[in-house]
Amino acid sequence: MSHEARIDFEKSYGRVLDLLKIYVDPVFIRVLVHFWNPNLHCFEFPQFDLVPTLDEYELMLSWPKSVGVYTCRGVHIGNGNIRGWKLKTLEDHLSSLADKEDWSTFNKTLALIVFGMTIFPLHADTVDHVAMDAFFSWDVHLRSLVPAVLADTLLFVDFCHQKQGKTLRCCSTLFYMWGIAHFYASSHMGTLPDALRSFSKIPLRHHYAMEWKAKVERWSNDHFSWICPSFRPGDILIRCGDYPKELGGLRFFYDSDHQDEMHAICRAWEKLVFMGDRELGKARASVSSDYEEWRKRRGMPLPSTLHAPASIDRELQEKFDALTKKLEIMGAQLKALEDKNEESSLVIDGLQRQCKKKDQEIERLKDESANLNEKTIQATKMQKVNPNS
């Protein structure tokens, strides 16, 4: 892929290629699914409850600005006829496009493969109609896929929790990143300016299932953060039309009796309401008294994250805010340097490709010159043998 093609790809599809570079530990995924509470639709850990949010998934994907929201037509779990393209067919087509240097079509084909293999991997080695429908909605209509990706993930988490041992056929890379970032955030706050490209900087060790389970059960405020390190508070999604942000919980309607309600929810996604610091005040991580009471009613221990004391020293708070601001600036500078370094690598790669082509052209000209020289010598010899001809 040329340097210009790589830049055009990221402008259109964000950094989805980086998802391919992340190794997902399936053992950690299975342990997270073990703590899923299907009645509460969240992960119920001994010390706290947690669930991925749209804001976190939006941050990790870093897709370009969208217009509206993609609403999936339904995900079918189980065996049946698969409609789609075989991965091998698309890869062969991708190679031919690279040979022709048709980078525009190459980018679309590559993005479709990533969508089918990483973001909506419902069937192995196949980009099925669900992935193609989602890709078309984004590529042509710029519909945001984040709600669909998150809903797809939680649906399969719920399914795998009920059917122990089933494979998680969703965007497990983002799910894995979300879990690791929360549980290892406390020692990396301010050092991960980019959720996706900085993920590899988190040092991880391989653990067996029982080891992961024991670690999760012991996790407390020393190992956990309510806010992912790369999250920068901004505008928060408050509600969708007349619905609250949660839309009454996860709902999946396929039968005709609920079509009106399903269409109403789809229309609500077109009327998103956001609020920021101006309306909500400066964002802080704390635990409300309602949440503590809710934990008590369920017979669960109180969360380890305590309330921020009301009498906190103003000067200390100002210093903390200033330090946080500096960390944000340094994080942005680091991100800019990483982007510049990657662009330089792409430029070098492009120049190396050009040099290779020039070398091939030089070799071709040398061969032609040698052939012409040999023909000239032969013609001269023939003229000496037949001087009268």
pLDDT confidence of residue 113: 92
Question: In Å, how far from its chain's centre is CA 376?
Answer: 63
- Dump pLDDT digits (tens) for 126-136: 888 888 888 88
The total of other beta-carbon atoms located within 10 Å of residue 126's CB is 20
C-alpha separations of 152 from 77, 229, 296 in Å: 11, 25, 31
C-alpha separations of 183 from 180, 201, 206, 223 in Å: 5, 14, 15, 6
Q: Which amino acid is at 166?
A: K
pLDDT confidence of residue 110: 92
- Dump pLDDT digits (tens) for 24-48: 888 888 888 889 998 888 898 888 8
- C-alpha Rg value of the chain to the nearest Å: 28
pLDDT confidence of residue 227: 65
Structure tokens at 53: 């949010």
- Dump pLDDT digits (tens) for 97-115: 988 889 889 999 999 999 8
Average pLDDT score over the chain: 76
**Percent of the chain's residues with pLDDT above 90:** 3
Least confident of 16-25, 220-229, 351-360: 220-229
What's the predicted TM-score (pTM) here? Answer: 0.68
Q: Is 60 helix (H, G, I), strand (E, B) or coil?
A: helix
CA atoms of 146 and 240, how far apart (whole Å): 14
Residue 309's pLDDT band (cuts 50, 70, 90)? very low
Cβ burial 132-151 (10 Å sphere, 16+ → b, else e)? bebbebbbeeebbbbbbbbb
- Dump pLDDT digits (tens) for 288-306: 788 888 888 888 876 654 4
pLDDT confidence of residue 306: 41
Q: Which residue has the higher pLDDT, 76 or 20?
A: 20
Q: Which residue has the higher pLDDT, 177 or 311?
A: 177
- Dump pLDDT digits (tens) for 149-202: 888 888 888 888 887 766 667 888 889 988 888 877 655 555 566 667 777 777
Q: Which residue has the higher pLDDT, 348 or 68?
A: 348
Residues 6+ apart with CB under 8 A from 171: 19, 118, 119, 120, 121, 149, 152, 153
* Cβ(79)–Cβ(119) below 8 Å: no
* Cβ(146)–Cβ(63) below 8 Å: yes
Whether the predicted pLDDT of 362 surpasses 80: yes
- Dump pLDDT digits (tens) for 230-285: 666 567 777 777 765 555 444 444 456 666 777 777 777 777 787 877 777 766 66
